Amino acid sequence: MVLEFDYIIVGGGSAGCVLADKLSASGNYQVCLLEAGPHDNHWMTKIPLAVVTLMRSKKRNWQFYSEPEPYLNNRRIFNPRGKTLGGSSSINAMLYVRGQKEDYDHWQSLGNKGWSYHEVLPYFKAIQHQERGENEFHGENGPLNVADSRAKPTINQHFINAAQHLGIPLNQDFNGDVQEGIGYYQLTQKNGVRCSAATAFLEPNKTRKNLTVLTDVIVHNVIIEQGEAKGINCIYQGTKQEFIARKEVILSAGAFNSPQLLMLSGIGDPSELKKHDIPLKHALTGVGKNLQDHVDILTVFELNYHELLAYRFRSLLWSCKESIKYLLNRTGILTSPVAETGGFIKTNSAESRPDIQLHFIPAAMDDHGRNDAMLFKYGSALHACLLRPKSRGCVTLNSASPLQKPKVLLNMLSDEDDVRRMVEAVKISRAIFNQPPLSNLLSKEIFPGKSMQSDSEIEAFIRQKANTIYHPVGTCKMGQDEEAVVDEQLRVKGVTRLRVADASIMPTIISGNTNAPTMMIAAKAADMILADARK
């Protein structure tokens, strides 16, 4: 069976949902969105606190694991990614963060015309509905609802006060003129319910006659004929099918799956394709290279305090009372993303801008929250992640089968400067815990532990416990150099009618959570695609 559409979008995540909305809005084009996972109609994708449960879901979470990491004591690092409509925006912590102005100006300096902060800000504003109202940094008529947290357990204010006591300024808006400081994150929520990309961009438009959304579709490859993308081969409803694109194929499958699909289609490093007997259609050595993520470390303390997420009687009683608030008026702990407070700091005062991001957790946490033994303690944790790591990894293939996950090597902490900054981040995290009022609640340091005091001991701790904070980017980088995969219009170099539009096109990682920037990328990509269609 062969189906024809004008545009075929592969991947129904944060980018794909935006593209599907904007490309189908005029009614002039037939648009098909293909998602490998199921619909986002489960309660877990709606109630914010269920992010904890989604971390363990095999149905809605790809649950990638890296190869043994040589700089992290050969540990295989867990990489959760959304496998449902909305993608990672349906399973993430919902933090709305754009990064720093300098991030986008740097992209432009690398030869990517049109990607400066001044030029991308209108896209952030256009797709946003800022509940606080419109100003020079925020819009209020877009589909994506951005709200203040409705969960404000007292421990969060203790954290903010402790950070201020250390000299870190309060910041009411991390997406405003200044990013540095401590405070509450804004969230992609509406009335205490998750506002994913699927909720914002697909749900209101599902009746459009020119928009087809298909789930549980496994795309095998892009059909390439004489240097032109013609469509895709896939498995849908248990049978092999061919979908033809009259205009373009757009890959929005994310930093792991988009390069995998390019390689399965014969586009990539010839030596990698040869290993798996994949016929070469076009040589692009940068496919899968340049992988970046925010390396992250947890500092954890046991507390003499019970208004926390824990498997302890007093905490469970408190949680039950908080849950009643959700039933009555959609407030309380069930609206929590678990990381509603945090901020952006410098490892040293000589830095021109923050190089570390903090996420405060009202629970004793380890192994992405999957270590249940930790939850039998009254405790809190503080994530510290490096905003602009110099370490680079790669995505390659395990085989020529689209049913097998790609091979991921993060290569975190391969750069010594990254290590140095992370050691300083641990020291600052400890210092925050040791400021009042948090210091008045401390019982015991769990991680790193009191025995870890020297820089070398802290480094050893980091290499044993560091993880990802779930922001992989860069594997189909935009640029002009020999490793660039797409140009500034996000067109795959050397192949016509094929683009990539997702976090994989970022040449360098932005200084913050990547969900909002990924949606911005898709909105800008849609305008470029439609402009080409009108020529």
List active site positions.
471
Write b or e for each residue in 20-48: b if 16 or more Cβ atoms lie within 10 A of its Cβ, otherwise e: bbbbbbeeebbbbbbbbbebbebebbbbb
Cα-based angle 17, 514, 529 (whole degrees, multiple of 5): 40
Structure tokens at 202: 């697909």
Distance CA 286, CA 259 (A): 9
**DSSP-based three-state secondary structure for 507:** coil
Distance CA 264, CA 205 (A): 32
Q: In this structure, which long-range contacts are made by residues 461-466, counting pairs with CB atoms below 8 Å and at least 24 apart in sequence?
A: 461/297, 461/426, 462/297, 462/413, 462/419, 462/422, 462/423, 462/426, 463/71, 463/72, 463/73, 463/413, 464/72, 464/73, 464/75, 465/297, 465/298, 466/72, 466/295, 466/296, 466/297, 466/412, 466/413, 466/422
Write b or e for each residue in 481-493: b if 16 or more Cβ atoms lie within 10 A of its Cβ, otherwise e: eeebbbbbbbbbe
Pairing, β 128-130 against β 239-251: unpaired
For the chain, the helix, strand and coil percentages under 3-state DSSP, each to the nearest 5:
30, 25, 45
| Closest alpha carbon to 261 in 89, 404, 474, 468 | 404
| Closest alpha carbon to 445 in 462, 428, 430 | 430
Q: What is the largest CA-CA distance in the chain?
A: 69
| Closest alpha carbon to 221 in 274, 165, 265 | 265
Structure tokens at 35: 């998602």
Burial class (CB in 10 A: 0-12, 13-18, 19+), 133: exposed
The sign one gets for the Cα dihedral 205, 209, 211, 214 is positive
Distance CA 439, CA 154 (A): 14
